[in-house]
Amino acid sequence: MAKSPAKSTIWEFLQSLGKTFMLPVALLAFSGILLGVGSSLTSDAVKQSMPFLDHTVLQLLFLWMTKVGLVAFIYLPVMFSVAIPLGLAREEKGVAAFAGFVGYAALNLSINFYLTVANVIGDAAAEKAYGVKSILGISSIDTGILGAIIVGVIVAKLHARFYTYKMPDALAFFGGARFVPIITAIVLGVVGLVVPLVWPWFAAGINGIGAVISHAGPFGPFLFGTGERLLLPLGLHHILVALIRFTEAGGTQLVCGNEVSGALNIFYSELSCADTTQFSVSATSFLSQGKMPAFLGGLPGAALAMYHCARPENRGKIKALLVSGVVACVIGGITEPLEFLFLFVAPVLYVIHAILTGLGFMTMGLLGVTIGNTDGNLIDFLVFGVLQGTATKWYLVPVVAAIWFAIYYGVFRFAIVRFNLKTPGREIESNDAPQAAGKKAGSSGYNGEIILNALGGADNILALDNCITRLRMSVQDMSRVDDKLLKANGAIGVIKLDEHNLQVVIGPQVHLVKNQLQSLMGA
């Protein structure tokens, strides 16, 4: 929902871009679970240890799960090229998504035209030099996720510029939203002629990043894990994550005779390859296993420390908040509900948390653990660790998580008591705190009317959207936003990025809160 928004800043654009990654990544995480369960339960080792699974109907079901699980992996670039303009568009989102597919196809057809004219197609040596692969059945340069992101951004810009474009009366049928895929095909067709000329420079830059990380040895995963946590409050962590998961920066490896780039791509390729006997540590070091020490052990330890450090009369009030945060972290891999409890009151603790997360990545890699996927939660541990057999060294995860639990608990309890940090439950209740009396909460458990008022009212909101745990919005007047009232009515944190751009951390129910606000604003 949007109305005459203020001019977007680079900061806002990067945040919005990172948010659009969530749609394909969410499907990727679920597809990974299907792939992991299906491939593990069709393996000879599992059938020998659990003979009751070696039944034709069950094996066909598991094989079907494996095949369906490949959908996100095989078509991931297409999904990014569609999801980015879909997420960035403020109006006519369906047209933007359709134009994203048109643009991606036009780009690859144009690249194919160039390669054909240049006599690259059919020359094995030349095709290898250009990195030619079959993309949607088209012999083209495999630009991967980076190419899809470029397409998505270009299409989003074209959509914003032309979805209200007025054509002459004789051509009025082609105007407005219908003009967007038309101009997209033309522009991306031209871009496709340039890609073969400039792509080697892009590839060299990405390979350079990959070389820095690979030459860092065990510190590569440490730098990645720490950097990802430090970027999370800014909403820019998705960009770093996508770079490592899906491009050459995350490594390149030969899997089942195919060259695969990106840590997550490599892991999924190995997962679906019948010849795989051991997952690559170099790939999984950047994946789920690195998060598990902090997610399954560390943050629950921090939550217990905050509970024990709360005033006795307040512990009952914060118990549900902390327990729900731990459940979201351990089961769902969603950490923000816990992290934002101490991010603003003790930024140094958050930096320590980021460093310990990076050390978790490095430790799991050094121990040779090989658990992949994306979330680092209990589901990943069971599906991609336990079900894949002892070769993944899953049995080391509880040990390391227990150590991280003790470290986090000790560090957080010492810091909170020593420096009197105002973590939840340590503040003294005051009678003049903002209240929600007389207002009924909606299905989300949050009161949309109070939250809307705390944001300055419907006329103050220029644009409204959400990611996994946060409301993301642009406001007309930031001074009208009442931080205390938002926090008194369920907000975990309020982040003011600049004079117009704002994020309100809600938690896993954020999409329901956004729907409430949109309904109230429409009314």
**Cα 307 to Cα 314: distance, rounded to the nearest angstrom:** 9
Architecture of domain 448-522: 2-Layer Sandwich (3.30)
pTM (predicted TM-score): 0.65
Instruction: For residue 254, list its beta bridge partners.
Output: 259
The residue written with tokens 């939550």 in the block is: 303
**Cα 70 to Cα 269: distance, rounded to the nearest angstrom:** 9
* Average pLDDT of the residues of the chain: 83
Lowest model confidence (mean pLDDT) among 117-121, 166-170, 380-384: 166-170
Catalytic residue numbers read 467
**pLDDT tens string 171-226:** 778 888 889 999 999 999 999 999 998 887 877 776 676 677 767 888 889 999 99
**pLDDT tens string 12-61:** 666 677 677 767 877 776 777 777 777 777 766 667 667 888 888 888 99
Confidence grade of residue 251 (pLDDT, cut at 50, 70, 90):
confident
**pLDDT tens string 425-462:** 776 554 444 444 444 555 557 888 899 899 999 889 88
Most confident of the following: 27-31, 62-66, 357-361 = 357-361
User: What is the DSSP track for 347-367?
Assistant: HHHHHHHHHHHHHHHHHHHHT
CA angle 290, 296, 302 (to 5 degrees): 110
**pLDDT tens string 191-204:** 999 999 888 787 77
pLDDT at residue number 442: 54
39 token code pair: 């491939």
Section 255-271 average pLDDT: 86
**pLDDT tens string 139-148:** 998 887 778 8
* Domain segments of the chain as ranges: 10-216, 242-252+277-418, 448-522
Confidence grade of residue 362 (pLDDT, cut at 50, 70, 90):
very high
Half-sphere exposure of 175 (CA within 13 A, CB side): 10
pLDDT at 252 over 70: yes
pLDDT at residue number 430: 45
**Cα 231 to Cα 239: distance, rounded to the nearest angstrom:** 9
Lowest model confidence (mean pLDDT) among 152-166, 226-240, 276-290, 419-433: 419-433
